[in-house]
Amino acid sequence: MYDLVFGPLMWLTTLIFIGGVGYRAYQLVQLTKKKDRARCPATAIREDSPEERKFRPIVRLQNSVLGQHPIMAIVSFVFHVCLFAVPVLCLGHNETLYQFWGICFFSLPDALINIMTIIVLVGGLFFFLRRMAVPRVRAVSSTYDHLILLITIAPFMTGFFAYHQWGDPRTMIIIHALTGQLMLISIPFTKLGHMVFFFFARCLLGSEFSFGRGAREWAT
């Protein structure tokens, strides 16, 4: 079982994940088109007055997601940082990667990884409770959303258990690997695809909310 999970299934997962994410990125490029930078008359530009310039930083903060939804913004940000950092920078993964493929990233201390994993789990709990308890979130939720959250949290939970040797380590590692693989292959095909969509839409597409110039636009 171990050999299956860490062998062919790992290859398959990598293929589907990279292929899928790549395809999503390609799709986004295909569905959008480049927009040349237009010239606007210099006289048309409305400059801030001195008083307005004074308040510009406060206004930007107030209008940002941090200003509008501080708790959600902070929890989500910290959750996502840990979500990415833990799998990439944990010693266990780097050891395994090195063992199988001869490559690895640098590793953070286990104590830190432990804390970050707990942050991910607490974040997951926060999102779960929010989706259950807050009426407006319930209004746009269904089983699918809870399932996706479960798929996301499962690898972190089982990884935590495996590291702390709760339960049979060998079984736990296999479940951890399977749930991790499930999560990875879900990314291109579910709402977890916001991993790709977010960067493309907010950085490359022009809108009231784009970071930077936003030199692309939807083609249809």
Using the rule CB under 8 A, is 14 a contact of other proteins?
no
Using the rule CB under 8 A, is 34 a contact of other proteins?
no
Angle separating helix axes 70-89 and 91-101, nearest 10 degrees: 40
Q: How many residues contact other proteins, by CB under 8 A?
A: 54
Whichever of 110 and 217 has its CB closer to other proteins, that residue is 217
Whichever of 38 and 103 has its CB closer to other proteins, that residue is 38
Using the rule CB under 8 A, is 31 a contact of other proteins?
yes
Tokens of 17: 């994940």
Q: Is residue 34 helix, strand or coil?
A: strand
Angle separating helix axes 110-133 and 143-163, nearest 10 degrees: 160
Whichever of 69 and 170 has its CB closer to other proteins, that residue is 69
**Integer Cα distance of 18 and 184 in angstroms:** 9
Contact of 124 with 145, CB cutoff 8 Å: no
Using the rule CB under 8 A, is 71 a contact of other proteins?
no
Tokens of 28: 């986004």
The number of helices, as runs of H, and strands, as runs of E, in the chain is: 11, 2
Closest CA to 116 of 67, 160, 150: 160
Using the rule CB under 8 A, is 52 a contact of other proteins?
yes
Using the rule CB under 8 A, is 198 a contact of other proteins?
yes
In the window 160-189, what residues touch other proteins (CB under 8 A)? none
**Integer Cα distance of 131 and 142 in angstroms:** 9
Smallest distance, other proteins to C-beta of residue 49, A:
4
Smallest distance, other proteins to C-beta of residue 210, A:
7
Using the rule CB under 8 A, is 57 a contact of other proteins?
no
**Integer Cα distance of 162 and 172 in angstroms:** 5
Contacts of 195 (CB under 8 A, 6+ apart): 21, 187
Whichever of 9 and 149 has its CB closer to other proteins, that residue is 149
What mask, x for binding other proteins by CB under 8 A, covers residues 115 to 144? Answer: ----------------x--xxxxxxxxxxx
Using the rule CB under 8 A, is 63 a contact of other proteins?
yes
Binding site for other proteins (CB under 8 A): 27-28, 30-31, 38, 40-41, 44, 46, 49-52, 55, 58-59, 62-63, 65, 68-69, 72, 131, 134-145, 190-191, 193-194, 197-198, 200-202, 205-210, 214, 218-220
